[in-house]
Amino acid sequence: MAAQQEPHDRHRWRALALLALALVLSMTPWFSATAVIAQLREAWGFGPSFAAWLTIAVQLGFVLGALVSALSGLADRVPVRRVIVCAAVGAALANALVLLARSPAELLAARMATGVCLAAVYPPALKLIATWFVRGRGLALGVLIGAITIGSAMPHLVNAFGGAQWQRVIAASTVATLAGAAVVGLLVREGPYPFPVARVRLGDVGAILRNRGVVLATLGYFGHMWELYAMWAWFATFAASAVASGGDPRTASLLTFVAIAAGLAGCIAGGLASDRIGRARTAAIALAVSGACCIAAGWAHAAPPAVFLAIAMVWGASVIADSAQFSALVTERADPRTVGTALTLQLGLGFLLTVATIWILPLLAAALGSWRWVFLVLVPGPLLGVAAMWPLMRPRPGAGPARA
């Protein structure tokens, strides 16, 4: 496949731009409720524990949706564009149900359904863009992960300028997701390099667990996920309590959008670097920087606005810059027959792990009486990730730097 000539750049870059736009729009429901957590708490009267579950429900829904999709072979049996469009429409409808919820159980059910649907949006989108890119695939995947990051941050931007009416954020993210579905359905098509059909085979799990490279890549991913979604989920609350925002929730939302959106630059830089200096080395550098930011966040909390913003942007860029590299490492280290199963295990277990830190952080803040130092609990994640990447930095015989 690598020996084949790439399609004209205009076609593949057009496909990448359109799919990135679709993901920016379609991923807005992920944190739509989290972005307005202060308003929802005031309207519903729930405490920090239930607030955490509004995000956890999306994570669990994503895990469920990913496993069902993988075990059923959905993306192999149904054209990937159709899967993305139907799932995005489903995510929009599930997100809209938040507006109709009349009980906490209905609210959580709507959020879980949103996660289930989003599981069939962005993983298939990564597969779809790979059918266009053989050369430069690291950069292409980095751009899409960046688009997902921007989409996840968008509710915070809407909240910053939308006033106290949380319904506006939910409605805007619902409309955006429908627009994303339309972009894929009307303007995006598959590229000239389709993947062979792959089925999840539970009997392959033992072989995967004996594959040192896959295990190390997965451990690195676990360290990454220990930090990522907890930072994304609770940065707005952290910012709202910081000196930099002056306690203004709109300023906190704007700071959060800027911090998370900085991940676009991180993803592009990570994609470019991974194709030059190697996946593992790129991931290790990003993990080291984001881990340092977990520590620096405590000082930033009481720092002037400019210092807070600078640290927030570096953290937002580095915390996601390594994301695509862990999946790429699995595709390069696993037995080709077990790549699908290995990726499914990495994804499912990684998202399950996020439940722990999303739940722990508000409880820790309540125990300490402040959000200032709570992000220190995330530091072990980057440390684990760097330790796992270290052995993978050594190039294998016959492998170029991009595979190291």
Contacts with 14 (C-beta within 8 Å, 6 or more apart), sequence order: none
pLDDT-derived band at 401 (thresholds 50, 70, 90) equals very low
CA atoms of 238 and 216, how far apart (whole Å): 32
Q: Which of 56-65, 79-88, 196-205 shows the lowest per-residue confidence on average (mean pLDDT)?
A: 196-205
CA atoms of 266 and 314, how far apart (whole Å): 9
Rounded to an integer, the average pLDDT of 295-311 is 95
Is residue 244's pLDDT more than 90?
Answer: no
Q: What is the pLDDT of residue 98?
A: 95
Decide if domain 200-404 falls under CATH 1.10.10.10. Answer: no
Rounded to an integer, the average pLDDT of 231-248 is 90
- Which of 70, 166, 167, 57 shows the shortest CA–CA distance to 114? 57
Top mean pLDDT of 125-134, 203-212, 286-295 is at 286-295
Q: What is the pLDDT of residue 5?
A: 47
Tokens of 328: 């790429």
Is residue 223's pLDDT more than 80?
Answer: yes
User: What residues does each domain of the chain span?
Assistant: 11-189, 200-404
pLDDT-derived band at 164 (thresholds 50, 70, 90) equals low
Number of Cβ within 10 Å of residue 376's Cβ equals 13
Q: Do domains 11-189 and 200-404 have the same CATH topology?
A: yes
Tokens of 219: 């451990």
- What digits encode the pLDDT tens for the residues 63-90? 998 888 777 767 667 788 999 999 999 9
Q: Would you identify the CATH topology of the domain 11-189?
A: Growth Hormone; Chain: A; (1.20.1250)
